[in-house]
Amino acid sequence: MIEVAIMLEGQMGLTWERWQRIAHAVEELGFVGLYRSDHFTNGEPPDQASLELWISLAWLASHTKRIEFGPLVAPLSFRHPAIMVRQAAAVDDLSGGRLTLGLGAGWQEREHHNFGFDLLDVPRRFARFEEGLEVITRLLRSAEPASFQGNYYQLRDAALLPRPTRTAGPPILIGGKGKRRSLPLAARYADEWNAVSVPPAAFAELNAHLNTLLAAFGREPRMVRRSLMTTVIFGRDDAEVRRRLAGRNEAELRAKGSVIGTPTAVVEQLGQYAAAGVQRIMLRWLDLDDIDGLEALAQHVLRQL
């Protein structure tokens, strides 16, 4: 059975009031988790409120009891991996072991330019990301002091203390669908791979490719959970679906992996994703004030799964 979580775009007007209201709703309504993006600003103006990632997750850890959560994803392009791993281990412990540490290389040019972070070109960006993953995994997964000499990061007898309550710390999620860079890194370092906005057939193809890569690294498929983040446009009837589409082309959105429709249609699409290998789907909820819609989604869809 596929697990259903909610995902929010943290740079699109997320405030404390909205975050707290949505978090309590997701916890009470039965969704498996709540995830959010980690951006300083939008890709295009105008700027909107953007609640800081780790402060918001620390609040979530101590004000919810059940739901799993994490960043989708936290870029290493504007956080040093030694800082990131300390934040993640502390928040995971605070939550009782419910954090998934989603990590990425960074991609949004505007936020890096506006705030003075060096995004780098794609080859160097991914080289830096791979070094960051090496730093994080060494610190998380061994109690022995770690040393590492890279082009971007260095460790010299560095220890993560206190040790995470979970033996290897929070699981690492790597997102992406690139066969050349993202999937090989997921096969080597990830406990969970997350694809973004692909239809079921494309997910199945990427999933099979990941299995091949895992075998090359001596890892079994069961060692990496498979998840997907995609947009949901849900309505209780056809008229509500049309209203929420707001003139957007449904066929084009479906081709990009969006889940669209009434309860029956959404359940059918979730079944297609499950058949393609998706174990957990993070449905991107764009209207941060639409708690009524979340309640309807839980009532009419979750109960059918």
**Which among 148, 226, 223 has a CA at the least distance from the CA of 189?**
223
pLDDT of 183:
98
Mind giving me the DSSP string for 189-247?
Answer: H-SEEEEES--HHHHHHHHHHHHHHHHHTT--GGGSEEEEEEEEEE-SSHHHHHHHHTT
Our separate counts of H helices and E strands in the chain read 11, 12
* pLDDT, tens digit (0-9, with 9 covering 90-100), for 268-298: 999 999 999 999 999 999 999 999 999 999 9
**What's the token pair of residue 251?**
């066929």
* Mean predicted lDDT score pLDDT of the chain: 97
pLDDT of 232:
97
* Pairing status of strand 154-158 against strand 192-196: unpaired
* pLDDT, tens digit (0-9, with 9 covering 90-100), for 212-252: 999 999 999 999 999 999 999 999 999 999 999 998 999 99
* pLDDT, tens digit (0-9, with 9 covering 90-100), for 83-117: 999 999 999 999 999 999 999 999 999 999 999 99
> Which listed CATH number (3.50.50.60, 3.20.20.30, 3.40.309.10, 3.40.50.10260) goes with 3-304?
3.20.20.30
User: Whats the size of the chain, residue-wise?
Assistant: 305
User: Phi, psi at residue 73, to the nearest 5°?
Assistant: -125, 170
Q: Which residues pair with 281 in a beta bridge?
A: 4, 228
Query: Does the structure show a pLDDT above 90 at 82?
Result: yes
pLDDT class for 52, splitting at 50, 70, 90? very high
User: Distance between CA 58 and CA 187 in Å, rounded?
Assistant: 29
Query: Does the structure show a pLDDT above 90 at 1?
Result: no
Where are the strands (E) in 39-196, listed by range?
68-71, 74-75, 101-104, 146-149, 154-158, 172-175, 192-196
3-class SS of residue 7: strand
For the chain, the distance separating the N- and C-terminal CA atoms, rounded to the nearest angstrom, is 7
For the chain, give the percent of residues with pLDDT over 90.
98
Q: Which residues pair with 283 in a beta bridge?
A: 6, 230
pLDDT of 247:
87
Q: What is the pTM of this model?
A: 0.96
As a whole number, mean pLDDT of residues 146-172 equals 97
Please give the single-letter amino acid code of residue 203. Answer: F
User: Distance between CA 277 and CA 188 in Å, rounded?
Assistant: 19
pLDDT of 19:
98
Could you tell me which residues come within 8 angstroms of residue 258 by beta carbon, excluding any fewer than 6 positions away?
Answer: 197, 230, 231, 232, 233
Residue 186 Cα to chain centre, angstroms: 13
- From residue 183, alpha-carbon distances to 32, 128, 147 in Å are 25, 16, 26
**Which among 91, 95, 98, 117 has a CA at the least distance from the CA of 106?**
117
pLDDT of 16:
98
3-class SS of residue 10: coil
**Which among 304, 256, 302 has a CA at the least distance from the CA of 25?**
302
pLDDT of 63:
98
Residue 157 burial (C-beta neighbours within 10 Å; 0-12, 13-18, 19+)? exposed
**Which among 81, 76, 79, 162 has a CA at the least distance from the CA of 124?**
76
b/e burial code for range 29-50 (CB count within 10 A of at least 16 → b): bebbbbbbbbbbbbeeeeeeeb
As a whole number, mean pLDDT of residues 17-39 equals 98
